[in-house]
Chain A
C-alpha cells in the first residue's frame, strides 16, 4: 500500500486521537487534583452534546455562542455534581467515590434516555465544511480545528496549572490537601474549580465530537469515556501532556491497526496495549513514580 494511503490513515488516526486527548484531559485533570476517576466524565460529553443541539435548534445560536453557553452550563453541572455526589464522600474510601461516579454516570444516561429517548438525533455540523485536498489526501476543516483546539487547550491548561496562583493552589491541594488547608487555601473552592475546568473541557470536546460524527444519543459517552480513560492511563493519569500523547497514540494505533492488521482485532489489541502498559510502566508514559514521604 502506498504512501498517500498511509498518510490518510495517519490523518484519520490524528482526528480520532485529538478527540480522545481532549476527553482524556478532563479525566487527568480531575484525577490529578481530586484523586478521583470521574467515570461520569464521558456522560458530561453526552449532556454537552444535547445542550449544544438545543442551543442550535431552539435558540438558533451561532457556533461561538453555543461554545460559551455549553461550556458554562457543563462547568456548572460539574460543580453541582461535585457538591452533591463527591464532596460528602471526600473523606471516605476512594472506592466509594469511584462507585458514586459510576452511579452519577448511570443517572445522567438514564435521565437523558427518559427525556430524549434512545433514538439517535442527527446533529448538524456548524463548522465550515471545507475539505482541504493535497493530491489524493483529504483533510476536513473540522479535523484541523479539533487538532488545533486540543493543542491550544492543553497548552493553556498546562500554563494555568503551572503559572497562575489558582493553579498553584490546585497543585498544593493535589500534593497534600491537609497542609494546603493549613496554608490558607480554600480546598472546596479549588476542587470546585477543578471540576468546572474538567467538565468545561468535556463540553468543548462534546461540540467537536458531535460535529464530527453528526449523531448523538444518550449512550454516546460510554465507549468514548472508556477509550479516553485508557488514553489518560497510557499517557500517565494526572499528567496533562500525558493525556495528549496518550490520546493521539490511541487514535493512531486504532487507525493503523485497522489499516494494516485487522479491523476485527482493533479493540483486542488496544486493550492489550493497556494491559502491557500497566505491567511494564504502571504510571504511564509521563507518569511520575509516587514518592512515599517519610
Chain B
C-alpha cells in the first residue's frame, strides 16, 4: 500500500508543479524610495532581461543591443553631461524572479528601467512598478496588457494584436488569400493575443477561418492538428509562436503534405537556423511580421548592424535592435527632461519623435492605446533559404 501512496503523492506533486508554474509572488517589500541614482557623477539605468534559461536567446540579444547603445552614448559624452552606469539583472524568463530582480534594481537606485523582454514577466514587473512610478521602457514585450497598468510604462515594439491585424490584412490585401487556418499556443499570452487579433481581423475582412487549433508550450508533436487542418486545405496557416516551435510545426506540416503558405509574427525570427538543412524547403515562401530587416541600407540600420557585429561577433536579431532603440528613446527623453526626475522623464517620453533602427516611432497615447508606438511593420519572407524583405507594410495604407 505504501508504494501506491507514494505514487499518488508524487503524481499530485507533478501536477501541482505544472499548475503553479505560472504564478508569481506578490510580496510587497521595498516600499521605501531609495535615493535617485543621478546624485553622483553617473546616471544609473537598469537593464532587466532573461540572460539564462529558456528564452535567454532573446534576453541576451536585447541586453546586448541596449548595452551597445549605452556604450555609444557614453563615448559621445553621456546624457546631461554624465556617464551612464548600467545595473543589469538576470530574471531567467521567470515572472517571480523578474519581480525580485526589479526590486533589487530599484533598491540600487536606478532612474529608469529598460526591460523586461518577454511578455509574462514584463506584465508582473509593470504591475509592480506603477506604485514606484519608475519610467520603464520595454524593448520587446508585445502583450497588450503591458502598458495598461499605469502611465509609467512605454514600449518600443508594436504589440501582439497589431501584428495579428497586420498579418491578416496583408494576407487578404497583398496575398489575396481567402481561407486561413490558425494554430496557436493556448498556454502563452503572446500566442493567444496574436491569434485572436488575427482571427477577428481576418473575419472582419471577409476571410474564412477554417481551423482554430491549439497546442501547449513544450509540445513536440503537431501531426494530429496538421492532419486535421489539411482536410480543409486553407490558403494559409498562421502560426503565432516562437521559432523553435515554428521549426517543429513547419517540418511536420511538410510531412503531413500541407500546402498552405505559412505565416507568423516576430517570434519567427531565427526559424531558419532552427530547421535542419533538409527541411529548409518547409519554410520557403513563408511570411512573418518583424520589427526591422537586417539588410536594410539606411545609414542608421547599417551602422547599428556593423557596430553590433564588431562588438559581439554575430548578427543582431530584432530584439537587439529594439534593445538599442529603447535606450536611445529613453536617453533622448532624459535629455529633454533636463533632469532625472521620474515625472519629468515620463512626461518627456510622451513627446518622443525618434527615427531608429526599427523605424520611425511616436507615441500618440490615445485613449486605450497608451504607451504604444505608432510604427510600420517589416514583412519578412524566406526566399532561396534566406530572409528577404517582402514589404514595409502599414495596414490600411
Contacts and interface: CB of A to CB of B under 8 A. Distances in A.
B231 A263 contact: no
In the A-B complex, the 9 residue pairs with the smallest Cβ-Cβ separation, listed nearest first, are A264-B214, A258-B224, A122-B276, A223-B218, A120-B244, A12-B223, A255-B224, A263-B213, A263-B214
B54 A237 contact: no
B255 A138 contact: yes
Contacts of B244: 120, 215, 217
Interface string B204-222: 0000000001111011110
12 contacts: A9-B224, A16-B221, A124-B277, A125-B278, A215-B244, A219-B54, A224-B220, A254-B224, A258-B213, A263-B213, A264-B213, A290-B1
A12 B224 contact: yes
Interface of A: 1, 5, 8-9, 12-13, 15-16, 35, 37, 94-95, 98, 113, 117-120, 122-125, 129, 131, 138, 140, 209, 213-215, 217, 219-220, 222-224, 226, 229, 233, 237, 254-255, 258-259, 262-264, 266-267, 271, 274, 278, 282-283, 290, 292
B57 interface: yes
Contacts of B224: 9, 12-13, 254-255, 258-259, 263
A123 to B, nearest CB: 7
A94 B231 CA distance: 50
Interface of B: 1-4, 6-11, 14-15, 18, 52-57, 186, 213-216, 218-221, 223-225, 227-228, 231, 244, 247-248, 251, 255-257, 273-279
A1 B52 contact: no
Interface centre among B7, B8, B218, B227 (most CB of A within 10 A): B7
A259 B11 contact: no
A259 B255 contact: no
Given A215-B247, A219-B218, A278-B11, A5 B227 contact: yes
B1 A113 contact: no
Nearest to A274: B11
A278 B221 contact: no
A223 B274 CA distance: 20
The binding surface of chain B is classed by DSSP as helix
A214 B216 contact: no
A65 to B, nearest CB: 20
Contacts of A223: 218-220
A233 B1 contact: no
A232 B2 CA distance: 18
A117 B56 contact: yes
Given A120-B247, A213-B220, 13 more contacts: A16-B221, A117-B57, A118-B52, A120-B274, A122-B274, A124-B277, A124-B278, A138-B256, A214-B248, A255-B224, A266-B216, A283-B4, A290-B1
Contacts of A9: 224, 227-228
A5 B233 CA distance: 13
Contacts of B216: 266-267
A138 B257 contact: yes
A73 B176 CA distance: 54
B225 A215 contact: no
A215 B248 contact: yes
A1 B231 contact: yes
